[in-house]
Every structure is written in structure tokens, then in C-alpha cells.
Amino acid sequence: MRELRYREALREAIAEEMDRDDRVFLMGEEVGYYQGAYKVTEGLLERFGARRVVDTPITEEGFAGVGVGAAMVGLRPIIEFMTWNFSAVAFDQIINHAAKIRQMSGGQFACPIVFRGPNGAARQTGAQHSQCWEAFYTHIPGLKVVAPATVADAKGLLKSAIRDDNPVLVLEDERLYGLKGEVPDGDHLVPIGLSAQVRDGDAVTIVTWGKMLHMVLPACEILAKEGVECAVIDLRSLRPLDLGPALASVEKTGRALVVQEAWPYGGVGAEVVDRIQRDAFGALKGPVLRVTGRDASMPYNKHLEDLTIPSVDTVVRGVRAVLAW
């Protein structure tokens, strides 16, 4: 085991897969000479050269499309969006081409491409740079979507994504890039489509993913001092979605809370609630509740921003609300 930062784990994953397979290449804004907007790609241009680490203009639709075409003819592109908010102008390439080409070509073409970058709010980046995109992309058949919360999962899921023969979207988080954590030595892979139980408990099952795991775990420590032991499930993969561990935990606890950063309306959390209440209805002692971001565009003001994003305190209050039923 070694201690790495989240950004370093992502960098290792990219470098190891580029070493392993010369079809893998990286493309995006400032990934090369600037060493990456968040320094995830630092040193890769010097190591692999400008043919495999390609700086692009600010043309997300263009370079996403180039990546899709490259994947169709046998390469394995990694496309970095400086933020997932910028992927909005590449919707056509991701949704109408990458996601559909295998089905529309009758299996004649695959699209082994990775789209990656930071998702959700950073710190005072304003309404156009603070959105969570998982609900948009998990809605689309043909795409896989992962959201690593830990340093080990950042490396393991990205490596699995690069090896996958389908388009995979990796939703990272700017606030996690400096996070430190242990990463197993060797060829560390985390399978896409498997959630993980990261904490055991018998009072409430909390289901979450991405950055929100780091709000949930401190909340659990506060609640444990009150005698409330919460189980925590990290989904890790949002499509395909593995609710096996969550359902098994709900059979034990009888109560569930879903915590997501995104807006409440039509979110991944709503899908999780629906499945739990259908598949574990007999075990539930009350309704499955959610803690979400506010149903509003993100304000720039720091204090208003703090009121908009779920926090340790809102998770604690959410657990107490579940227990009150």
C-alpha cells in the first residue's frame, strides 16, 4: 500500500494504461504543456510525447467528436473536460454518437472512450461551473457512469474505465483532488458496477457516492456518540447501479437515507429511493428520505453556497428525520 493524493492516483492510472496499451491517448484543454488545469496530467506530455498527450482548443464538441471517431477505428481515447459543465456543448457527441454507435451499427463499431473531469461544486465558481451531471448521463442507455469517492477507487475505477469497450464517464471532484489515501500496490482495478459498504451499522442505511461520502462519514461519527450506528454504502458506479449491499443493509436497519450533492428533482437519488422502496419494502419501518442540494442555481456568495450544498450537519439532521418516522 502507498499513500497518494487523488490527483496522483488518477495520473498513475492514466500513465499505467498508456504504458500497457499504445492505443490509449489523452486529449483535452491544457492537459499537456500546462500540465493539466488541476495537475492531474502533470508530466505526461514529457513522458509520452505530443502524439499521445494532445492539447486542444476550447472546443469541447470538436475534441469529443474526434475522440469518438478515434475510438470507432480502434484507439482508446481519454477525453478530459476541464469541468463537466463544459460537456454541455458536447452533448451531441456523447449522447447521440458515443452512447449509440454500437447499437446503431449492429455491433460493427464499438466506442471504447473515457470522458473524465471534475463534477459538482468547487468553491465559489458560480452557477455555470457548479452543477452535478450524473442525472443527465445516467439517463442515457449505452453510457457507463462512475463517481469515485476515495483515492483507491479513483485509480481503480479509471483503469477499469480505460479498459472497458464501452463509453465510460468518470465524475471526479475538484475538492477531492488533494485528498490523501492508501492505494494498493500493483495493477489495482475496481470493477465497474459494484458498490461497497464502507461502514457497518444497525440504525440507518445511508447510500451515497462521490464527494458526499466525505460529508456522510463525519456525520456518522457524530451520531455514533449518541448511540446511533449508521451503515454507509458507497455506490461508486451509478450506471450500472449495484444496490445489492444497500438492500442487504436495509433488511438489517429497516431505514434508509440517500445523500447526493445534486438537485433533488429527477436525480440519481430518486432512482435509488424508488428501487429500495420497491425491493426492500417489507423491511422498511418508514419512508426512504433524501438529503440533496438545494433546488436552485448555485450562488457565488460563499455563505449562500454553503447553504446550498449538503453538509455534515444536514446529513445528521437527515438521519434524525429518518429515525423520527
Residue range 138-179, pLDDT digits in tens: 999 999 999 999 999 999 999 999 999 999 999 999 999 999
Residue 100: pLDDT above 90?
A: yes
Q: Which segments of 140-267 does DSSP mark as H helices, in order?
A: 151-163, 213-224, 244-253
- Grade residue 325 by pLDDT with cuts at 50, 70 and 90: confident
Query: Does 23 score more than 90 pLDDT?
Result: yes
Question: What pLDDT, on the 0 to 100 scale, is given for residue 66?
Answer: 98
For residue 127, the model assigns a pLDDT of 86
Q: How far is residue 273's CA from residue 63's CA, in Å, rounded to a whole number? A: 37
Q: What is the pLDDT of residues 228-240, one digit of tens each?
A: 999 999 999 999 9
Name 21's Cβ contacts closer than 8 Å, sequence gap at least 6: 76, 162
Q: Determine how β-strand 24-28 pairs with β-strand 76-80.
A: parallel
Average pLDDT for residues 90-108, to the nearest whole number?
97
Rounded to the nearest angstrom, the gap between the alpha carbon of residue 125 and the centroid of all alpha carbons in its chain is 19
Does the pLDDT at position 56 exceed 90? yes
Average pLDDT over residues 184-212: 97
Q: Looking at the predicted structure, is the pLDDT value of residue 126 above 90?
A: no
Task: Inform me whether the pLDDT recorded for 37 exceeds 90.
Answer: yes
The mean per-residue pLDDT over the stretch 103-117 comes to 97
pLDDT, average across residues 12-34: 97
Residue 62 has pLDDT above 90, yes or no: yes
What distance in Å separates the CA atoms of residue 279 and residue 241, rounded to the nearest whole number?
Answer: 14
Cell match 447521440: residue?
96
C-alpha distances out from residue 28 to 77, 92, 221, 293, Å: 10, 17, 40, 29
Close Cβ partners of 324 (under 8 Å, ≥ 6 residues apart): none
Question: Domains in the chain, start-ordered, CATH in brackets?
Answer: 2-183 (3.40.50.970), 196-324 (3.40.50.920)
Is the pLDDT confidence value at 292 over 90? yes
Q: What is the pLDDT confidence band of residue 265, given thresholds at 50, 70 and 90?
A: very high
**Cα 105 to the chain's mean position, in Å?**
29
Instruction: Give the chain's mean pLDDT.
Output: 97
pLDDT band at 215 (very low <50, low <70, confident <90, very high): very high
* pLDDT(225) > 90: yes
Joined grid coordinates for residue 267: 436525480
- pLDDT, position 123: 86
For the chain, give the percent of residues with pLDDT over 70: 100
Where in the sequence numbering do the catalytic residues fall?
A: 60, 129
H or E, element range at 238: strand 237-239
